[in-house]
Structure 1
Amino acid sequence: MTKDEQSTGPRKTAEKRRGPVLLRGEQVDSSTTDQRLLDSAQNADWLHTDPWRVMRIQSEFVEGFGTLAELGPAISVFGSARTPVGSAEYEAGVRIGRALVEAGYAVVTGGGPGAMESANKGAHEAGGTSVGLGIELPFEQGLNQYVDLGLNFRYFFVRKTMFVKYSQGFIVLPGGFGTLDELFEALTLVQTHKVTRFPVILFGVDYWSGLVDWVKRTVIAEGKASAADLELIQLTDSVDEAMKILEDAARRNGVQNPAHNPE
């Protein structure tokens, strides 16, 4: 720093305030926010800027919260979009969707085909609330025909918030990376107490046993997780047992069985 700089301080530069933002020097622009808003000759590039994305994100949260706020007790069911119609896994999903409705729950899925469709089908045919939370993907997927209440999201993280916020538990059918993503995010949120402890049920013992064994023999054995963390996961092949796990969890959390709630 020169003697002149020490005596006079920083050199004065142009300064402008844009809402809470302070601009100086080369950051100062010659137009105003209102001017750009009212300029009909501008291009549409602003639609793809991060500040505008914030508004889109906000709108998705508002729409999701507004649509699902009065959903009532619900269980999210995850699974592969590639599960063939008529397969044993698909039929298990139908039975699960039906049983959840009979137990007083709404059924929430990703709204796609395969395992998601199967749970929505069971809920729809049982006369319950069948919810699909879709996501914009590079390949067109759309909501399956058994969704009675559907929302499509641009952003995965907004969609994931809806799954967690409005569910009392997760049932996870065999699936791929997307299913694993939802599974481990749910386990992380429960493990870190970001959400109230709720059951995470892996349906399909043969399919999921290898993963659970790896967690036990590698992750826990090497100290990357605690043995108590494994208690967050329940494995079953029985729809009745899955319903019993949900009922027991509700009782532990002081929640009345939704099927017993008076109208």
Structure 2
Amino acid sequence: MKRTRGRVVDVITLDEFDRRLASGVRSLAGWRVTGLDLRSRGPALASVVVEQSLFLNCTFTPAVEEAVRRRGAVVVPRVPHVPLDTFRSALYSPRELYDTIDYADSLDARTYAWSRGEPSQDDALAQALHDHSIDTALETWVEGRSIVGVMGGHELHRGSAAYADAAHLGRLLAASFTVATGGGPGAMEAANLGAFLSAAPSSGLDSALAALGAVPTFERDIEAWADAAFEVIDAHSPGVESLGIPTWHYGHEPPNPFATAIAKYVRNATREAILLEVCNAGIVFLPGAGGTVQEIFQDACENYYADESSLAPMVLVGVTHWTSSVPAWPLLSALAAGRAMEGHVHLVDTVDEAMELLKPGG
């Protein structure tokens, strides 16, 4: 796979590397080569100009690495002793993060434990490089997609009526849009679940909700919680694609496996900004607390200063919740009054009403 951005050429497979050189390329200026084993490509590299090229996490023989550095290439090795691949070329799959039987030994858990430490200079560099690589991979993944975000509380339990409603919303949205969430448990998981099963008969979602209800929360046993999800996934694969954008900042909340593509960040500030940015067709805010309120007003701030052409709907679901329990709506509606965003901000009581506002032509 290759991506070309202006004069930058991303090369992430040996087949692509070999094909380009075989086509007669004489200079690698502008190339960004990531994660390749080039130990057998010494003669090929010697035959081309490597000045102004960049090699990230590539493997060379010592002599070839010295030669390409001397001839003007920039070689950036993987940062040692960190669990993350700092030069990823794709988003995570659920199985990559849950890569062991015991969650405590998984890539997800090991990365969270590492991220909680006092970062050294190398650790900080690794975190920045990793999150940049996720940015790049996510940019490719979202291209050409119409994306609606679903935000909501992580404490929502499987088996509850509100969880079923969030799954129903994900199912409805996925018929017209790509669904994106914060990638965690609760309402986020439910929306990704509904999207994943949106091409299956409604009975498939009903049976999945019943099966998942046997393990309502991750808090007592993450392995059992994740296993229940993977059993549903295995029964209904491949499922419909959706996106999760979680963060190791909240690493005590495991990522939900129903998001088929996971853009997991180390830094939460980056993650929050990107999560809202990719939702180009609007955001539904289900009942939630601190994190959801933050997302409402972070999105509102962007819309407050935007012109009409840049606006997308904000739909808050739960009249009592957003006017009384957590009264975000009065402030949001006051901010919107008289602004271009005013007609794009809505408060409804059901997910079906939310869907009516968001569906094409709604």
More displaced stretch, 53-62 vs 174-183: 53-62
Taking a change above 3 Å as real, the CA distance of residues 87 and 138 of structure 1, as seen in their structure-2 partners, is closer
Counterparts of 1:185 and 1:226, CA distance in 2: 13
- CA distance, structure 2, for counterparts of residue 228 and residue 109 of structure 1: 30
Equivalent of residue 191 in structure 2, options 119, 123, 130? 119
User: What letter matches 1:62 in structure 2?
Assistant: T
In 2 relative to 1, CA 153–139 (structure 1 residues): closer, same or farther, beyond 3 Å?
closer
Q: Partner letter of residue 206 of structure 1?
A: T
Which of 68, 72, 78 does residue 151 from structure 2 map onto? 78
- Deviations along 1:190-213, one digit per CA (max 9) or x if unpaired, are 111178111000011111123256
Asked if the contact 2:248/2:264 (under 8 Å) is kept, the reply is: yes
Aligned to 1:5: none
1:227 and 2:337 matched: yes
Deviation of 1:52 after TM superposition, in Å, equals: 6.6
1:4 equivalent in structure 2: none
| Alignment pair present for 1:107 and 2:179 | yes
Question: Number of residue pairs matched?
Answer: 200
Give the secondary-structure state (helix, strand or coil) at the position aligned to 2:315.
Answer: strand
Indicate yes or no: 2:143 matched with 1:69. yes
In structure 1, C-alpha distance between the alignment counterparts of 2:120 and 2:328, rounded to whole Å? 47
Aligned equivalent of 1:47: 122
Q: Is 2:282 the counterpart of 1:169? A: yes
Query: SS of the residue aligned with 1:122?
Result: helix
Equivalence map 1:239-258=2 (5 Å): 239-247=351-359, 251=361
What residue identity is the alignment partner of 2:139?
F
Aligned: 1:141 with 2:216? no
Note the C-alpha offset of 1:87.
1.7
Q: Does 1:151 align with 2:257?
A: no
8 A Cα contact 1:64 1:162, kept in partner: no
TM-score when scaled to structure 2?
A: 0.49
Q: Look up the equivalent residue of 1:89 and give its one-letter code.
A: A
Give me the whole-angstrom Cα distance separating, in 2, the residues matched to 1:66 and 1:191.
28
**Please, which of 304, 318, 324 is the counterpart of residue 204 of structure 1?**
318
- Mapping of residues 11-50 of structure 1, within 5 Å: 45-48=120-123
SS of residue paired to 1:186: helix
Structure 1: runs of 5 or more not aligned: 1-36, 39-43, 253-263
Q: Which residue of 1 aligns with 2:294?
A: 181
Q: What's the counterpart of residue 237 of structure 1? A: 349
Residues 1:137 and 1:180: Cα distance change in structure 2 (over 3 Å): same
Secondary structure, counterpart of 2:244 in structure 1: strand
> Partners of 1:212 and 1:138 in 2: how far apart?
23
Deviation at 1:57, TM superposition (A): 4.4
CA RMSD of aligned residues (A): 2.8
Q: Is the 8 A contact 1:74 1:108 kept in 2?
A: yes
Amino acid at match of 1:60: I
Q: Indicate the percent of aligned positions where both proteins have the same amino acid.
A: 25
On the 8 A contact 1:99/1:239 being kept in 2, the answer is: no
Q: Distance in 2 between matches of 1:85 and 1:134?
A: 19
Once residues 206 and 138 of structure 1 are traced to their aligned partners in structure 2, the CA distance between those partners, rounded to angstroms, is 28
SS of equivalent to 1:144: coil
Query: Paired residue for 2:303?
Result: 190
Contact 2:127 2:266 in 1 (8 A): no
1:53 Cα deviation (Å)? 5.7
Tell me which moved more, 93-102 or 190-199: 190-199
- Change in CA separation of 1:150 and 1:54 when aligned onto 2, cut-off 3 Å: closer
1:186–1:106 CA distance, 2 compared to 1 (3 A): same
Rg larger in 1 or in 2?
Answer: 1
Secondary structure of the 2:121 match is helix
| Alpha-carbon distance in structure 2 between the residues aligned to 1:126 and 1:78 | 19
Following superposition, the deviation at residue 98 of structure 1 comes to 0.7
With CA pairs under 8 Å and 6+ residues apart, which has the higher RCO, 1 or 2? 1
TM-score, normalised by the number of residues in structure 1:
0.66
Q: Cα 1:133–1:52, aligned 2, differ >3 Å: closer, same or farther?
A: closer
What residue in structure 2 maps to residue 129 of structure 1? Answer: 241
SS at match of 1:184: helix
Q: Give SS of 1:228's match.
A: coil
CA deviation vs aligned residue, 1:219-247 (integer Å, no higher than 9, x gap): 94xxxx46235544211123332122113
Question: How far apart are 1:166 and its partner, in Å?
Answer: 2.5
Partners of 2:243 and 2:350 lie apart in 1 by 23
